[in-house]
Amino acid sequence: MELHDLPRAVSKERTLQAGQRSSPFEAKGIERVTPQEAHGQPESLFRLWMAANVNITTLGTGAIATTLLGLPLWKAALAITAANFLGSLALGLFSTYGVRYGLPMMALCERWFGHWGNRVLSGINFLNGVSWFAVNTVVCAYALEHVLSIPPAPAIFLLAAIQILLAAVGHKLILRAGDVCFLVLVFLFSVVSALSLLPLPAGYAPAPKTGAEGAVPGAWLLTGSLALSYLGGWMLFAADYSRYLRYESDAPSIERQVFWHTFWGAFLSTTWIEILGAFLGGAIRSENPTDLLFPLLPGSLHLLLAAAIVLGTISANVINLYSAGLSLLGSGLRLPQYQASLLVGAAGLAIALLGHRDFYHRYEGLLFLLAYLIFPRLPILAIAHLRPRVSRIATLDTGSIGFFCWLGGVLASLPCIRQEPWFLGALAAAHPAWGDIAFLVGTAVSALLYLVLTQQERQATAATGALPCP
């Protein structure tokens, strides 16, 4: 592979996009962004990731710790903070890839997981975006049902149409929407946080009392795993929103700014909202996250709260739709980016309509399933970026090694999965106090395999912003 080469999908896509230049939709798909096309500022990523996580689904993630797992608040807060610190560091690192390489993550991954391996992993990343789109849309539909008495199915259709349109327009509109959503959502959830300290109105049943004695086995580790899994859903999207910051001058400074703005935007938002969710989950009996917020506000403000929930859903879901569309292109589909977003929206709409009941259990299962598949990929992405490596096996290129190491990590995690009643691994059954550590085991195994089966390149790659050669 030459330094100027792009993934195989790029050359064919250029022809498709040539006719899109006069369209209101974004023309660029997974081609490399050139320094001449750079625009925006690193601080926009702080607002983007804050807006993406200050929402009702993040609240529900924290609520699982007390509603389902039975942790006391202080233990839940400790697990949430530690997990979000680690997850935000990884998200910040992966955001710098956009500046360094000018490619979306799924185009970038072809170098490290091989042509066909990356197509498989891009398909999984497509499912990741579709699933998150469905989850967020379902939660928002609950809010509209509560306030406006709109049945879930029509609400899901309406929300999906708005979100798909925004994602299809593309990158610039997503960043502008993030700026607006940031201001409104931070203000509203600050008010909700303050009101949560007041006594609940009469007539609302408290949640069952929880405490260490009532916690499920391994609840602390499970809570940390859930929080980390939530951020893991964003990690393979990170470079998609920093690639247009590939300025020609002062690139190291831009990378540092991108890292810290992403880190603080993700860490502050997820930690704040998830701890709030854990607090409310221990105080209010709930079947879905919207039940946690409406008791805090008088009826006259419920419409405003529903509007904020809709806004928070849109700010997160345009990211899911846009990046899942890029993942479709990375999997080999030859379409303009906006058409890929339409396909993602249609798939997410179908999932949302089929799975909008029994929220907490379905959502918990989704978080863990995505973690099993996503996290074994992350150490390979980090190692290959920080210390470019080549295969030790003459018959296998580095990309194939990366894919097989990911697969080995996934398989090694199976005995540690604890997802009753669907699946219970042998180690998880023998050691229930460990909780579900499958994705941690998978991550460690894939990292170890990659380090063993590859070696560091002898000649350092020049800092040209291009991918290293095999």
pLDDT of residue 25: 65
| Secondary element (H or E) of residue 306 | helix 302-330
From the number of C-beta atoms within 10 Å of its C-beta (0-12, 13-18, 19+), residue 395 rates as exposed
pLDDT of residue 255: 94
Least confident among 140-144, 176-180, 257-261: 176-180
Distances (CA, A) of 266 to 78, 259, 344: 17, 11, 24
pLDDT of residue 261: 97
Distance CA 397, CA 391 (A): 6
Structure tokens at 211: 């405490």
Q: 399, 121 in Cβ contact below 8 A?
A: no
Mean pLDDT of 94-101: 93
Calculate the dihedral angle through the C-alpha atoms of 263, 271, 58, 260, rounding to the nearest 10 degrees.
Answer: -10
Residue 106 backbone zone (phi > 0: left; psi -120 to 50: alpha; other: beta): alpha
pLDDT of residue 11: 46
Phi, psi of 218 (to 5 degrees): 70, 25
Largest Cα–Cα distance of the chain, in whole Å? 71
Per-domain boundaries in the chain: 41-363
For 246, which DSSP code? -
pLDDT greater than 60 at residue 22: no
Helix (H, G, I), strand (E, B) or coil at 456: strand
pLDDT greater than 60 at residue 397: yes
Percent of the chain with pLDDT over 70: 83
Q: 171, 40 in Cβ contact below 8 A?
A: no
Q: What is the pLDDT of residues 280-298, one digit of tens each?
A: 887 777 666 777 777 777 7
* Residue 222 vs residue 17, higher pLDDT: 222
Least confident among 194-198, 391-395, 440-444, 463-467: 463-467
Q: 17, 338 in Cβ contact below 8 A?
A: no
Question: Residue 258: which pLDDT band, with cuts at 50, 70 and 90?
Answer: very high
For 34, which DSSP code? P
pLDDT greater than 90 at residue 215: no
What topology does CATH give the domain 41-363? Hydantoin permease (1.10.4160)
| Nearest one of 226, 220, 216 to 367, comparing CA atoms | 226
For 239, which DSSP code? G
pLDDT of residue 10: 45
pLDDT greater than 90 at residue 45: yes
For residue 385, count other CB atoms closer than 10 A to its CB.
18
Q: Which residues contact 234 (CB under 8 A, 6 or more apart)?
A: 49, 52, 91, 266, 319
Question: Residue 113: which pLDDT band, with cuts at 50, 70 and 90?
Answer: very high
* Residue 371 vs residue 392, higher pLDDT: 392
Q: 124, 286 in Cβ contact below 8 A?
A: no
Structure tokens at 185: 């959502």
- pTM of this prediction exceeds 0.85: no
Mean pLDDT of 136-144: 82
Task: Give the chain's mean pLDDT.
Answer: 80
Q: What is the pLDDT of residues 264-276, one digit of tens each?
A: 999 999 999 999 9
